[in-house]
C-alpha cells in the first residue's frame, strides 16, 4: 500500500511526500518481516522503491542523486 501511495503522490507532483514514503520502504529489511498470508514482491523494498525515488529526484532536479540511487546494488 505504501508503494502504491508513493507512486500516486509522484503522479500528483507531491514529490517530497513520495520520497518520504519510499525512504520508509527502503528502510525495511523484507527478510525480517513476519510471515503473513499476504503475498508481495520483495523488490518494493529495494529496486522498485529506488527506481521510483530516482524518478522523483530527477523531477526535483537532482539527476546526480538519482543516478547514485540507481547504481546501488539490489
Cell of 1: 500500500
What is the share, in percent, of the chain residues with pLDDT greater than 70? 96
Number of domains present in the structure of the chain: 1
Q: Which residue has the higher pLDDT, 53 or 72?
A: 53
What nine digits make up the cell of 53? 525515488
pLDDT for the residue 67: 95
**Model confidence over 19-49: pLDDT tens digits?**
999 999 999 888 887 777 667 788 899 999 9
Range of the domain at 27: 2-32+41-71
Please check the confidence at residue 61 and state whether its pLDDT lies above 70.
Answer: yes
User: What one-character-per-residue DSSP string does 4-65 give?
Assistant: HHHHHHHHTT-HHHHHHHHHHHHT--GGGSPP-S----GGGGTHHHHHHHHHHHHHTT-HHH
Q: How many residues does the chain have?
A: 74
Task: Give percent of the chain above pLDDT 90.
Answer: 72
Let me know: does 53 contact 67? Beta carbons within 8 Å.
no
Residue 34: the pLDDT is: 78
Amino acid at each position: 500500500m505504501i508503494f502504491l501511495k508513493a507512486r500516486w503522490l509522484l503522479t500528483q507532483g507531491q514529490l517530497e511526500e513520495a520520497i518520504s514514503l519510499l525512504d520508509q520502504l527502503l528502510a525495511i529489511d523484507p527478510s525480517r518481516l513476519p510471515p503473513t498470508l499476504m503475498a508481495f514482491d520483495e523488490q518494493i523494498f529495494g529496486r522498485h522503491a529506488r527506481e521510483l525515488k530516482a524518478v522523483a529526484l530527477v523531477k526535483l532536479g537532482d539527476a546526480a542523486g538519482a543516478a547514485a540511487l540507481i547504481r546501488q546494488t539490489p
